[in-house]
Amino acid sequence: MLSILGDRTYRHLFAAQVVALVGTGLATVALGLLAYDIAGADAGSVLGTALAIKMVAYVVIAPAVGAMAGRLPRRALLVGADLVRAGAALALPFVDQVWQVYVLIFVLQAASAAFMPAFQAAIPEVLPDERDYTRALSLSRLAYDLESLLSPALAAVLLSMTTYNWLFSGTVVGFLASAALVVSVTVPKSGAAPRTGGFSARATAGGRLFLAIPRLRALLALDLAVAAAGAVVLVNTVVYVREHLGRPAGDVALALGAYGAGSMAVALVLPRLLDRVSDRAVMLRGALLIVAVFAGLAAITAAGAGAWRWPALLGAWAAFGTASSMVLTPSGRLIRRSSGPADRTELFAARFSLSHGCWLLTYPLAGWLGSVAGLQAAVVTLGAVACAAGCSAARLWPRAGTRPVPHLHTSLAAGHPHLADAIPVAGGWRHSHARVLDGLHR
C-alpha cells in the first residue's frame, strides 16, 4: 500500500491531508474548551449548534465549488482554502461571544467544503492506475481513523504543558503546512470547461449528474446507511457508556477507539480484496452488516443487566466501523469510473454535499430520539433508516452496472484519445468500457 508514496505529487498531497487533519483534530478539542469558557453549562448547546453549522456549510458550499470548477485553477483553490482555514483558526482564540464562534466556524467549514472536493478530484488524475488509486483511498481512510484516535491524545499532551488557546496555533500551523505542501507540487488542472447558464443551474449541475447515474444514486443510499450508524456512535456513545452501562468516563474513548479500529482493519485489507471482488459486493455487504449490527445493538439496549453488555457494545462499535469502511473506502472508485476528468470535481462536490445532508438528518435524529424517547427508540428508528437505505441501494445498483458497456461513438474524430482501443465500424467507432456519464457519454 505504501508504494504509492513513491509518487512525489501524491506524497505531498497526502501529507497535506494528514497535517490538515491533525490541525482540525486539535481545533475540535480546543473548541470544546473555548465553548465552556464562553457559555459555561450551555457549552453543549453551543457545540451542537456549531456542528449543525458545519454540516450546513458542507451542504451549501460544496455545490457552489462545483459550479466554479472550470473557472478556478485547482492549486489556487486548494491553497486559498487552506489560508482561509488558517485565518479562521487564528481568530478563534480572541472571540468572547457565542455568535463570533458561529461565524468563524462557518468560515472555516466553508473553506473545508471548498478544499475537500477539489482535493478528492485531483487524486485520480495524480494516480490514474486504478490499483494505485484504490490504495490511495485506503490510506485516506486510515488517515481519518488515525486522526480521530491520535489527535485527542496529542491534545492531551499539549494541554499538560500549555493552555488550550495554543491548540488553535497547532491548527494554524497544520493548515499553513498543508498550503505549503500543495504549492510544492504541480497539481493536475481540472479538465472541466466552464459551464454556461446561471449560477443556480451550474451549482446544481453536479447533483443532477450524480443522481442521473444508477450506481451513484445507490451510493447516496449507502451514505445514508453509514450516517445512521455513525450518528448512533458519535452522538450516543457517551450515553451508552456513562448512563446505560454505568462505565467510567475513560471508557468513552475506548468505545470510540473500537469504532476506529474496525474501520482501520478494513482499510488495510480492502485493496487486495477489491482486486478480486466487485465494489458492489463489498459495499452492499457493508450495508447489510450495518443492519445486522443495529439488530444486535437493539438487544444490548433492551438488556437490563449483565457484564456481557460492555464487550458486546465494543464489538458492535467495531462492527459499525468495519461496515462503514466497507462502504466509504471504495466510494471514490465509483465516482472515478462514472465520470471523465471534465465532470469529476462537480461529482465529488455533489457527493460531498449530499452525503453530509444525510448526516444533517441523522445527527439530530439520534440526539433528539435518544433524549426524548430513549435509546431503544433511536436504535430502532435509525436501524429502520439503514435497512431502507440498504434495500434501496441494492435495487438502484444493477449488477450490469459493474460490467463494460459496448457502445458506438459517431461524433469523435479519428485520433481522439478516447478512441485508442476502439474499432472503426460503419457510422463511427465501437468499443466498450465501464459505464460513464460525461461529455462524451450522455
Task: Using pLDDT thresholds of 50, 70 and 90, give the confidence band for residue 229.
Answer: very high
The model's pLDDT over 246-280, given as tens digits with 9 standing for 90+, comes to: 888 778 778 888 888 898 889 888 888 888 888 89
Confirm whether pTM is higher than 0.95.
no
Query: Residue 311's pLDDT is what?
Result: 94
Q: Which domain holds residue 421?
A: 404-433
Q: Is 193 helix (H, G, I), strand (E, B) or coil?
A: coil
Query: What does the block give as the cell for 135?
Result: 490504495
Q: Residue 198's pLDDT band (boundaries 50, 70, 90)? A: low
| CA-based nearest residue to 285, from 202, 225, 348, 240 | 225
Identify which of 234, 229, 222 has the alpha carbon closest to the alpha carbon of residue 388: 222
Within a domain: 441: no
Asked if the structure places residue 438 within a domain, the reply is no
Looking at 163, 194, 225, the residue that finishes a domain is 194
pLDDT(188) > 80: no
Same domain? 278 vs 220: yes
Domain presence at residue 373: yes
**Is the pLDDT reported for residue 297 higher than 60?**
yes
End position of a domain, from candidates 194, 210, 227: 194
Residue 440 resides in a domain: no
Both 291 and 275 in one domain: the answer is yes
Domain total in the chain: 3
Q: Specify the pLDDT at position 191.
A: 52
How many CB atoms are located within 10 Å of the residue 433 CB? Answer: 14
Q: Which segments within 239-342 are labelled E, that is strand?
A: none
How far apart, in whole angstroms, are the C-alpha atoms of residue 241 and residue 51?
22
Q: Are residues 48 and 174 in the same domain?
A: yes
Residue 160, pLDDT > 80, answer: no
439 within domain boundaries:
no
Report the SS3 class of residue 281. helix
One-letter identity of residue 74:
R
Residues forming a β-bridge with 408: 430
Instruction: Identify the residue whose cell numbers are 464487550.
Output: 311
- What's the average model confidence in pLDDT over 37-51? 69
Of 140-154, 167-181, 261-275, 383-397, least confident by mean pLDDT is: 140-154
pLDDT band (50, 70, 90) for residue 327: very high
| One domain for residues 97 and 207 | no
β-bridge pairing 405-409 and 423-425? unpaired
Identify the three-state secondary structure at position 222.
helix
Range 11-23 average pLDDT:
88
User: What are the C-alpha distances in Å from 87 to residues 55, 175, 332?
Assistant: 20, 9, 30
pLDDT of residue 197: 53
Judgement on whether residues 74 and 144 belong to the same structural domain of the protein: yes
Q: For position 206, what pLDDT does the model report?
A: 67
Q: Are residues 382 and 284 in the same domain?
A: yes
In a domain, residue 347? The reply is yes
- Grid coordinates representing 94? 480572541
Considering the domain architecture, whether residues 245 and 260 belong to the same structural domain is answered as yes
Pair 216, 107: CB distance under 8 Å: no
The per-residue pLDDT of the chain, averaged, comes to 82
Whether residues 349 and 245 fall in one domain: yes
The C-alpha atoms of residue 313 and residue 143 are separated, in whole angstroms, by 24
Higher pLDDT, 239 or 175: 175
Same domain for 172 and 240, yes or no, is no
Per-residue pLDDT band for 66 (boundaries 50, 70, 90) equals: low
| Domain co-membership, 249 together with 142 | no
Pick from 80-89, 110-119, 385-394, 396-405: least confident: 396-405
Q: Could you report the per-residue pLDDT of 78-99, keeping only the tens digit for each?
A: 899 899 999 999 998 888 888 8
Q: Which among 194, 212, 239 is the end of a domain?
A: 194
| Low-confidence winner among 22-31, 33-42, 189-198 (lowest mean pLDDT) | 189-198
Amino acid 156: pLDDT: 67
Q: Is residue 442 included in any domain, yes or no?
A: no
Same domain (yes/no): 28, 162? yes
Exposure letters 268-298 (e unless 16+ CB within 10 A, then b): eebbeebeeeebbebbbebbbbbbbbbebbe
- pLDDT tens readout for residues 88-133: 999 988 888 888 888 888 888 888 888 888 888 888 888 888 788 8
By percentage, how much of the chain surpasses pLDDT 70? 86
Nearest Cα to Cα of residue 11 among 113, 148, 126: 126
Over pLDDT 90: what percentage of the chain? 21
Residues 102 and 244 in one domain: no
CATH number for the domain spanning 337: value is 1.20.1250.20
Question: What gap in Å lies between CA 136 and CA 115, rounded to an integer?
Answer: 17
217 within some domain: yes
Asked whether the predicted pLDDT for residue 41 surpasses 70, the reply is no
